[in-house]
Structure 1
Amino acid sequence: MATALFAFAASAAFAQPAYDTGASDSEIRIGNIVPYSGPASAYGVIGRIEDAYFKMINDHGGINGRKITFISYDDGYSPPKAVEQARRLVESDQVLFIASSLGTPSNSAIQKYMNAKKVPQLFVATGATKFGDYKNFPWTIGWQPAYQSEGRIYAAYLLKEKPDARIAVLYQNDDFGKDFLKGLKDGLGDKAALIVAEDSYEVAEPTIDSHIVKLKSSGADALVSITTPKFAAQALKKAAELDWKPIYFQSNVGSSVGSVMKPAGYATAQGVLSANYAKDGTDPQWDNDQGMTKFYGFLAKYAPDANRADGSVVFGYGHAQTVVQVLKQAGDNLTRANIMKQAASLKDFAPDTLLPGVTINTSATDFHPIEQLQMMRFEGERWRLFGPVINGEIGG
């Protein structure tokens, strides 16, 4: 009898909730850093959508009875400011982890700090390959497809459809642009000499018009625009103004209908190519899709002013849904170590907004959750998908 009582007591003790800073019986504190201001402010809507999503979760009882407190700060797309905000979130606000912090420069700036503090840097909103480096940075994990994967996919398309292309590349002069460019060159392989012009821009530049003029003068008949929304729209407009009509590839992160294609002008954007892993919030083919029905219902109640044509709205929803999945899997073991363990234990998870056939899979040696993309072409006022879902896996 005594043995049985001891076994029961040990079992009960084992089942007790485990908490680190930022978690309790009633609360889970999540930090976030996005550019609500500055040259990448178009992405600020991601933070607002995630905040709305967590409000919806709280209204439905939270996660295992715990409410989410979401603390989101602006870094203006400035790495020094990102460091300041990360320290504020970890040391003053005492969050359990930081999720969905945006931008390659900002996440690069805080990565060593987050890992030194052993605070999870979950699902960074950037496709830079280094955020899947589980060996050197075990507290940082990516989310979206790696930029190198996307670059390789565009290279494969060019080699098949226009093997004699003269390629010009416009890229952002930071880890985002350089990582993407590496993937493009790797994909071209011994045909990398097809790139006849490369030009980079700084995010502090007010306009990139001169870069487009320079690239056109190279005689290129294909352009790969590795740009964020503000500069993506500028590049499209300037190319049209110059009557330059190359085969045009627009990086996924700058392909939003609402923040890029519409401002640039639908007529200007016809025929532009890109790749995606998520559904288009305005595409009628998803009107009866179960996942998008949930997404539209969420917008109607919790974010009625959000523009469903903005790809960042779709992105924020899928991101937040993935964070919630990790918390559900963590159960009552809300330690930082277990949060990372669960983030690296996602199996065929399909957020409502991902394309059919695209799922999230992670493991202790795979910190690249989404590794599939499908090519798309801009026609009329929306993107139209074509071809198969392509696996751009790059490994750990």
Structure 2
Amino acid sequence: MAVFATRIAIASVAAFAISAVSGGSALAQKKYDTGASDTEIKIGNIMPYSGPASAYGIQGRTEVAYFKMINDAGGINGRKINFITYDDSYSPPKTVEQARKLVESDEVLFIFNSLGTPPNSAIHKYMNAKKVPQLFVATGATKWNDPKDYPWTMGWQPGYQSEARIYAKYILKEKPNAKIAVLYQNDDYGKDYLKGLKDGLGDKAASMIIAEESFETSEPTIDSHIVKLKATGADIFVDIATPKFAAQAIKKVAEIDWKALHFLNNVSASIGSVVKPAGFENAQGIISAAYLKDVSDPQWNNDPGMKQFLDFLAKDFPEANKLDGSVIVGYAVAQTMVQVLKQCGDDLTRANIMKQAANLKDFRTDVLLPGIRINTSPTNFAPITQLQLMVFKGERWVLFGDVISGEIGG
């Protein structure tokens, strides 16, 4: 079967725009690595436009639209972004193939926001051996925050373990005698969440977690796993699944009338791609965590940042479903990338890309929740570490409690 692949080149190499520079020596100070020039910044990306995680493909399409908007406004420091995005079907061997193509054939300056823990794990060593930035990967695995051993790789979203520790804090406080059943995807992503949950529960983990059920992304349905977990008598269900399987879980839990308190990981909290397809009536009372504003929440109706986001959708990406959480993620991470490139100025070397990515100070995108800021340093490659709990009511998520750090000791 032919594998779908897409290349979206946003900028023509012929497009030429140089911002005004001060001082006659400025031109001599320009520094470029492969993939950068006076006119262009070539960025690579890998997304699951097909396969079991294809619901996330809209994130890449949002980034295409955002960078096109930036180009239409003159680019970054006078340079247009040439954004090349390929499909890997959430298959690590295909990710390796696409990464090699981007680095060795397309000769991109760096790879940005490629999605998934298993796919990014497959190219982790390769990218670092090549000394090509693997920047703002679209996965919250803890391993991306390892500047000592992997100085060319950096995450962006809150860590999976941090998020799971926040759920554990809530459970210990509100339901200290709970019996917990866990469903998790059988890969690094699922295991990372599970570890965070156990670490957060501490010495109570062994007694509180009474069932752990893993599933493979190749399975057509997880219904049998849900039935098995209900049979344990658990009164808390921790759902660690990507969108397709999360929607299945929400439906099946309702169908078999399992009344457990349902925790759903943030990466599947999208109303558009998960909750609505599963049925609003089936999602009442589910708890998750957020770090970005939600379009469906009326408290942001007059928020300047939300207005900027909605203006972008109206003008530059009208076909997008604004309720799909991956759209706002794509917008926020693309804004962060643009900030890094602005900080780079005329030094568009790979080393300086990483240096500037590791020098974000209290940066905020338009759509981060109040109180959450992006901070990095040469020893901290985890840009976002805070979240706020939320519960699903009616047809939207309702935030509650304070912004919480999921870091150990936080």
Same fold (TM over 0.5): yes
Q: Does 1:153 align with 2:185?
A: no
Matching residue within 231, 235, 240 for 2:254 = 240
Deviations 1:103-143 (A, max 9, x none): 00000001100000000000000000001111110000000
TM-score under structure 2 normalisation?
A: 0.93
Query: What CA distance in whole angstroms lies between the structure 2 residues aligned with 1:379 and 1:43?
Result: 24
Report if aligned partners of 2:156, 2:384 keep a CA contact under 8 Å in 1.
yes
Matching residue within 87, 94, 98 for 2:107 = 94
**Partner of residue 375, structure 1:** 389
Higher helix share: 1
Report if aligned partners of 1:28, 1:69 keep a CA contact under 8 Å in 2.
yes
Shift of 1:11: 8.5
**Partner of residue 321, structure 1:** 335
Shift of 1:287: 1.3
**Partner of residue 5, structure 1:** none
Partner-residue secondary structure (3-state), 1:352: coil
Shift of 1:393: 2.6
- 2:256 counterpart letter in structure 1: L
Shift of 1:371: 0.3
Report if aligned partners of 1:121, 1:141 keep a CA contact under 8 Å in 2.
yes
- 1:237 counterpart letter in structure 2: K
Deviations 1:311-349 (A, max 9, x none): 000000001000000000000000000000000000000
Q: Does 1:175 align with 2:194?
A: no
Partner-residue secondary structure (3-state), 2:400: strand
Report if aligned partners of 1:46, 1:313 keep a CA contact under 8 Å in 2.
yes
Shift of 1:150: 0.7
**Partner of residue 214, structure 1:** 228
Report if aligned partners of 1:167, 1:220 keep a CA contact under 8 Å in 2.
yes
Partner-residue secondary structure (3-state), 1:114: helix
Runs of 4 or more consecutive aligned structure 1 residues displaced over 4 Å after TM superposition = none
RMSD of aligned residue pairs (Cα, Å): 1.2
How many corresponding residue pairs? 386
**Partner of residue 377, structure 2:** 363
Q: Does 1:290 align with 2:304?
A: yes
**Partner of residue 303, structure 1:** 317
Deviations 1:46-74 (A, max 9, x none): 00000000000001100000000000000
Report if aligned partners of 1:281, 1:310 keep a CA contact under 8 Å in 2.
no
- 1:331 counterpart letter in structure 2: G
Q: Does 1:203 align with 2:217?
A: yes
Deviations 1:268-320 (A, max 9, x none): 00000000100112222111111111100000011101011100000000010
Report if aligned partners of 1:142, 1:367 keep a CA contact under 8 Å in 2.
yes
Report if aligned partners of 2:238, 2:264 keep a CA contact under 8 Å in 1.
yes
Report if aligned partners of 1:58, 1:67 keep a CA contact under 8 Å in 2.
yes
Matching residue within 39, 42, 51 for 1:38 = 51
Matches of residues 1-396 of structure 1 in structure 2 within 5 Å?
A: 12=25, 16-192=29-205, 193-394=207-408
Query: What CA distance in whole angstroms lies between the structure 1 residues aligned with 2:75 and 2:90?
Result: 31
Uncovered stretches (5+) of structure 1, i.e. residues with no partner: 1-9
Partner-residue secondary structure (3-state), 1:274: strand
Shift of 1:153: 0.6
Query: What CA distance in whole angstroms lies between the structure 1 residues aligned with 2:137 and 2:26?
Result: 35
Deviations 1:231-277 (A, max 9, x none): 00000100101000101100000110001110110000000000010
**Partner of residue 9, structure 2:** none
Shift of 1:14: 8.4
Query: What CA distance in whole angstroms lies between the structure 1 residues aligned with 2:360 and 2:214?
Result: 37
**Partner of residue 7, structure 1:** none
Deviations 1:202-249 (A, max 9, x none): 001000000001100111000000011000000010010100010110
Uncovered stretches (5+) of structure 2, i.e. residues with no partner: 1-22
- 1:256 counterpart letter in structure 2: S
Partner-residue secondary structure (3-state), 2:391: strand
Query: What CA distance in whole angstroms lies between the structure 2 residues aligned with 1:139 and 1:32?
Result: 15
TM-score under structure 1 normalisation?
A: 0.96
Report if aligned partners of 1:286, 1:292 keep a CA contact under 8 Å in 2.
yes
Query: What CA distance in whole angstroms lies between the structure 2 residues aligned with 1:337 and 1:88?
Result: 21
Report if aligned partners of 2:247, 2:278 keep a CA contact under 8 Å in 1.
yes
